[in-house]
Amino acid sequence: MNNIPTSLAEFTAPKEPPQNDASALPEGIVGVFDIVKEYEVHGRMRRVLDGINFKISRGEKIAVLGHNGAGKSTLVRLIAGIEEPTSGKIVRSMSMSWPIALSGGFGGSMTGYDCMRFLSRVYDKPFDEIRDMVEDFSDLGKYLRMPLKTYSSGMRARLAFGMSLAIDFDCYLIDEVMAVGDKRFQTRSFEELFVKRKDRSMIVVGHNLNVIADICTAALVLKNGRGRVFDDVEYAFRIYSTL
């Protein structure tokens, strides 16, 4: 921690909700409390996240900043429930999306329409509503009848993004999604997420200060698995730029 600015090193964890009383957990939050994540690497345990804490309530938006290897992608997987933390607690007392534009979990032989039917069953939402949204947003046309293994990475991103928007969530988990696709797709993605859903909570992983400063009211800065939340987003970017 010697190379981390003093303001990042001086981290005070918020009080964790009682672990054995579900009724005591606050309603309408997504919270990460004293999260630790370790992996075994070449026979030794490597700590990727170490005591991470933050929470957001309905309508609040927080950025997650950090250079490559800081632990951002691991944190996203934990928040999404794709992986479990080694220790600590993650509270989700409002509905939360999977990482926007995540295309994992679908077999390569499934068509775009197969993926929509699967989503319809899981979330108990009429297939027609999901289909209309995805067809309109993705602009994939006849390719929705073709298996995913024939898709380019950009086509997969369009399909996954459209399916993410087809379900209404209280909180959206957004991992570098604005870097996907061409300028037109990025503009439309911004409109759908940050304008039409501006009343929703969001956890936004990214590097674009212009976008994040306009959207988020707080930022979690990560380095080497440690982190601190700043209420001043521009100040958080200044800290981030020195790491």
Q: What is the pLDDT of residues 37-62, one digit of tens each?
A: 999 999 999 999 999 999 999 999 99
Question: Rounded to an integer, what distance in angstroms lies between the CA atom of residue 69 and that of residue 31?
Answer: 22
Residue ranges of the domains in the chain?
A: 1-95+202-243
Give Cα 17 to chain centroid, integer Å: 22
Mean pLDDT of 14-34: 65
Tell me which residue has tokens 């289909």: 131
- pLDDT at residue 178, as a whole number: 61
Q: In a 3-state reduction of DSSP, which class is residue 215?
A: helix
- pLDDT at residue 217, as a whole number: 92
| DSSP label at residue 158 | H
Predicted TM-score (pTM) of the model is 0.84
- Is pLDDT above 70 for 14? no
Retrieve residue 201's tokens: 């909570």
Q: Cα–Cα–Cα angle for 199, 77, 146, nearest 5°?
A: 85
| DSSP label at residue 147 | B
Spatial CA neighbour of 193 closest among 204, 181, 206, 182: 204
Please name the amino acid found at residue 205: V
CB 219 within 8 A of CB 56: no
Taking only the tens place, the pLDDT of each residue in 108-160 is: 899 999 999 999 999 999 999 999 999 999 999 999 999 999 999 888 888 98
Grade residue 208 by pLDDT with cuts at 50, 70 and 90.
confident
Please name the amino acid found at residue 95: S
Grade residue 11 by pLDDT with cuts at 50, 70 and 90.
very low
Question: Rounded to an integer, what distance in angstroms lies between the CA atom of residue 146 and that of residue 148?
Answer: 7
Assigned fold of 1-95+202-243: Rossmann fold (3.40.50)
